[in-house]
Structure 1
Amino acid sequence: MTETVRALQLLGDRKLELTAIPAPPPPAAGEVQIATKAVALNHLDLWGFRGMAFAKRKMPQVVGVEASGEITAVGAGVSGFKAGDPVVMYGALTCGTCKACREGRDNLCENVGGIMGFHVDGFARDRLNMPARLVMPVPKGVSLRDASCAPIAFSTVQHMLFDNAKLEPGETILVQAGGSGIGTVAIKMAKAIGCTVITTVGDDEKAAKAKALGADHVINYRTERFATITRKLTNKKGVDVVFEHVGGEGFNESLLVLKRGGRLVTCGSTAGPSITFNLMQLFQQQYKIFGSFGASMKNIRESLDKMAGGMLPVIDTEIGLADLERGIARLESRQVFGKIVVTF
């Protein structure tokens, strides 16, 4: 009888099913076999669940773009890993040989084979094989639940704030949607280096939680105009950096709160992907706008080091594999504060 493992597969638009699929073969040369222990949910999962890019995807497809696990076997030629090691996995099948990959800019790979759980089978299965070069050890003292938030949530923020926006100690930053998975991380990372943090949230309960995380000023964007409040808080000078991942109508107001020469970094468009803005404002105010997607493996290692130092993710909900659809529904409802993690 063929051995099987559990897998959560997307069958079509908003159709998820927990099924049995053939277990992976022993790892080939250069590979490791991993038992998945935790999958963290992201808006990429939500986009996939809604049916984005179906034309380019083979169905059914195993979901899950961010995960941690434990090594169960190593293939020939693999050093540095052994059975039982806790690890996290890079969420894209990079080539490892192009100029960007050689320079450590993994998220700009010129020959990427796809994003796990979005273009190719993802991590929401009991076991899988991965190239060892795309696997990183989890430091001692960091739980696999927390570590599952490093490959996308923590590392995306690390890349946005420090590689792109080059946030410096003592600066003032506006973090949009501070109750989201990456918003909570951005608050923590900015406060850790002594920044003044202004953040927006959608209700008073989230406002209290954002304050507890360390945010200096919290604005309920449903009842207040965040641009007006932010300008007042900065004596009309504006903020040094805007951490933006919402898009839509709020994007222009995010530009309005930047000081001259300020930096806006964005990685999302949950409120809408299309905007119109004033080019004269852009060049006269000398704004710097950075588009940011994903992160490098270096960013993931930096994130794991921060976790080992005590900076842990905010966990909104922990659920089992069979309840992943419920977790996606919660993510879609925007009631989340922090991350939703699926444990195996």
Structure 2
Amino acid sequence: MRALRLHGDRDLRLEDIPEPPPPAPGEVRLRMRGIALNHIDVWGWRGMAFAQRQLPICVGVEAVGEIVALGEGVEGWTVGDRVAPYGAQTCGVCRACREGRDNLCENVSGIMGFHIDGFAREFVNQKARLMVRVPEAVSTEDAACAAVTFSTVEHMLFDNAKLQPGETILVQAGGSGIGTIAIKQAKALGCTVIATAGDDEKCAKAQALGADHVVNYSEKNFASVARRVTNKRGVDVVFEHVGASTWSGSLLALCLGGRLVTCGSTSGVSAETNLMMIFQRQLHIFGSFGASMRNVADGLAKMAGGMTPVLDRVVPLEDFRDGLDRLESRRVFGKIVVTI
């Protein structure tokens, strides 16, 4: 079968490898149909894994597939079902797993495509308990964006920041995969949305998605704009995932008691923080990593209801490297999906 494997720093190769063995008890075999690209793919491509891994490794963290075989004891699934596989290989027995907080598993064995072999191959054996059903109304390309992208936004906005109708939210990097979905989610809730982007074209596209105010952060101070738009009050929530370059401004943009939720650090992992501002203004900072399987299911349900992800482009597996180049250079608006 074809597989896209990382052999070293930026050394991606499309090659033939043996198919997996028949699915073990409790497993299913998936025919992979598509993968969506994320910055975690870029980190892995650069050699930035957070744990030891053995190369070569099949890449691909977020995906959609179709069941083609069932292992012994698998119930509730049939051949032909489309699924969004959950990439974190959780234990299923620790307290967090039992409570449905999958992304806090105490004994996770790795993230597929990052620490262990991922989904960028034609066939994958997956534990049946680590799959979420794709509704019939959701296209395969959209479903590829469920397990990481849509679910991450669900977890950030609703589990952590607890965004409420009528609030004002600042969405950083509104042209990114999660930024575009955050704009849609917040507007659907009835919030006022301020979105940032790196150029005027992306700002225009963010406004077309529903953002009430847009800021080209390469030309204007987004914190000042947020203050002006809210009559100096500040925003209720900041959706942060850029990192060092926006951190201080994101905190300054918050109102008294405001909430900042962050899931990324693409511009750098370290930033200075004014601690007096944190406690004097009673700010709340939430770190958010991954999502639960419930978040994946909730995202797919919203897709079925018409809230689809923004697709920058759909490319074949052979062009996976070009997609990563586009993502790394920040030319993308929305998501890149790779078909298999």
Normalised TM-score (structure 1)? 0.98
Report the equivalent of 1:289. 285
How far apart are the structure 2 equivalents of 1:275 and 1:128? Answer: 40
Alignment of 1:1-344 (within 5 A): 5-53=1-49, 56-344=52-340
Q: Secondary structure at the match of 1:198?
A: strand
Q: Secondary structure at the match of 1:228?
A: helix
Provide structure 2 residue ranges, at least 5 long, that are not aligned to the other structure.
none
1:55–1:252 distance in 2 versus 1, CA, 3 Å:
closer
How far apart are the structure 1 equivalents of 2:69 and 2:129? Answer: 15
CA deviations 1:188-209 (Å, max 9, x no partner) are 0000010000000011111111
Q: % of aligned pairs identical?
A: 66
Alignment-mate amino acid for residue 114 of structure 1: G
CA contact (8 A) 2:200 2:216 kept: yes
Aligned-residue offset at 1:53: 2.9
Aligned-residue offset at 1:249: 2.7
Aligned-residue offset at 1:144: 1.1
Q: Secondary structure at the match of 2:17?
A: strand
Decide which moves more: 135-144 or 49-58.
Answer: 49-58
Q: Which runs of 4+ in 1 moved over 3 A?
A: none
How far apart are the structure 1 equivalents of 2:84 and 2:207? Answer: 30
What CA RMSD, in Å, does the superposition of the two structures yield over aligned residues?
0.8
Aligned-residue offset at 1:55: 6.9
How far apart are the structure 2 equivalents of 1:54 and 1:244? Answer: 21
Alignment-mate amino acid for residue 108 of structure 2: V
Aligned-residue offset at 1:140: 1.2
Alignment-mate amino acid for residue 183 of structure 1: G
CA deviations 1:233-265 (Å, max 9, x no partner) are 000000000000001131011000100000000
